[in-house]
Amino acid sequence: MPLDRRQQGQEFMRQCRITVIRMACYEDLMEQYENPMEHPCNMKEGQIFIANGWEKPEGMCDSAWETMSPFVMTLAYGGSDIYSGWMKNKKSAMISCNDGFRPVSFLIEALDDPEEQRQRNKVKYRTVAREELTVELFASFSRRQEVSRCWRKEKGQWAIRETPFVDDWSRKEYEDLVRRLIHTADTGGLVYGAFVGGKLKGFAAVESEFFGRENQYLDLTLLHVSQDMRRQGMGKVLFAAAKLWAKGKGARKLYISAHSAVETQEFYKAVGCVEAEEYHIFHAEQEPCDCQLECAVE
């Protein structure tokens, strides 16, 4: 029987998931002691990061990472039961950052052995039923996207511009999203999801109404993958499912009003999208910074 890496004496390290659990704000202390700050904290409750050893996850606060990194490393290298009986889950820790004015509580959890994790994290793709469409469905989904550069069309020419911002959804925006998806399902469209361990981690929505001069288009209105599952092929599977569904309905092309971030446009180019020959007026006016794209479904 072949030896696994630990039996062979090779270094073994687990990934750790870091979740922003709660944020506090002591306004009386801030007023009395703190000098005003323009951007004191960019964390958001429910935000999820994946840590690989000493490498600070993208978007993680430097100060918070300094506080939590020793606990991350302990759990990553197989340590457990920190402080003897402290946590119900022995492979976890609850750590607060060192900001005395607005402390943030982080839950750190060691993930499974990569092979165990691979088995547990097999992605299941399926149509999402209407009755499943609630805000709670998105409890383990993170929209967060840190954008630095975007494509802009200026005087008929495409150019990349520095436009740093963070794209994320509030509770209200998730409620609006659910209403949109229910409308899609009720009108005969497709709502298709990617589930990992029973939790939604990606989804796509295609509307049922044809448009275009020759009724050649169906509208891919939504395609998103949770922050912790990106660059693993999930988006390509969801896009392929949307194309297959649209083809089965008789469409010749998918239409996409797509986020203009450079990395988003790289994805759509990789799956065969090009600039739309015919712009959808509503999308172009509603989201003037989006890139209007199309993709043949055959």
* Residue pLDDT, tens place only, 93-133: 999 998 889 999 999 999 876 666 666 668 999 999 999 99
297: exposed, middle or buried (C-beta count within 10 Å: 0-12, 13-18, 19+)? Answer: buried
- How large a percentage of the chain has pLDDT more than 70? 93
pLDDT at 66 over 80: yes
- 248 residue type, one letter: G
Q: Which of 71, 97, 120 is the last residue of a domain?
A: 120
Q: Give how far Cα 273 sits from Cα of 136, 193, 220, 258, 265, Å.
A: 32, 21, 12, 10, 9
**Which residues partner with 206 through β-bridges?**
190, 220
At 256-298, the pLDDT tens digits run: 999 999 999 999 999 999 999 999 999 999 999 999 999 999 8
Q: Which of 70, 93, 120 is the last residue of a domain?
A: 120
3 state DSSP class of 126: strand
Question: Does residue 128 belong to any structural domain of this protein?
Answer: yes
Quote the strand ranges of 227-297, DSSP E: 253-258, 274-275, 291-296
Considering the domain architecture, whether residues 141 and 258 belong to the same structural domain is answered as yes
Considering the domain architecture, whether residues 254 and 290 belong to the same structural domain is answered as yes
Residue 8 — very low, low, confident or very high, per pLDDT cuts 50/70/90?
A: very low
Considering the domain architecture, whether residues 150 and 214 belong to the same structural domain is answered as yes
Question: Does residue 168 belong to any structural domain of this protein?
Answer: yes
- How large a percentage of the chain has pLDDT more than 90? 67
Assigned token pair, 225: 């993958």
**What was the pLDDT predicted at 63?**
87
Q: What mean pLDDT do residues 188-201 have?
A: 95
Q: Which of 86, 120, 154 is the last residue of a domain?
A: 120
**Tokens 């999801």 label which residue?**
193
**What was the pLDDT predicted at 206?**
98
Phi (first) and psi of residue 221, to 5 degrees: -85, -25
Q: What mean pLDDT do residues 70-97 have?
A: 90
Q: Compute the distance between CA of residue 56 and CA of residue 40 in angstroms, rounded to an integer.
A: 19
Considering the domain architecture, whether residues 161 and 268 belong to the same structural domain is answered as yes
Q: What mean pLDDT do residues 78-94 have?
A: 89
**What was the pLDDT predicted at 114?**
63
Q: Identify whether the C-beta of residue 160 lies closer than 8 Å to the C-beta of residue 263.
A: no
Considering the domain architecture, whether residues 204 and 250 belong to the same structural domain is answered as yes
Beta pairing class for 253-258 and 217-225: parallel
**What was the pLDDT predicted at 44?**
85
CB atoms within 10 A of CB 268: 20
Question: Does residue 153 belong to any structural domain of this protein?
Answer: yes
Q: What range does the domain containing 137 cover?
A: 123-296
At 135-167, the pLDDT tens digits run: 999 999 999 999 999 999 888 899 999 999 989
Considering the domain architecture, whether residues 127 and 116 belong to the same structural domain is answered as no
Q: What mean pLDDT do residues 209-228 have?
A: 96
**Which residues partner with 162 through β-bridges?**
149
- 140 residue type, one letter: S
When mean pLDDT is compared across 7-11, 67-71, 92-96, 128-132, the lowest value belongs to 7-11
**3-class SS string, 208-238:** CCCECCCCCEEEEEEEEECHHHCCCCHHHHH
Number of domains, the chain: 2
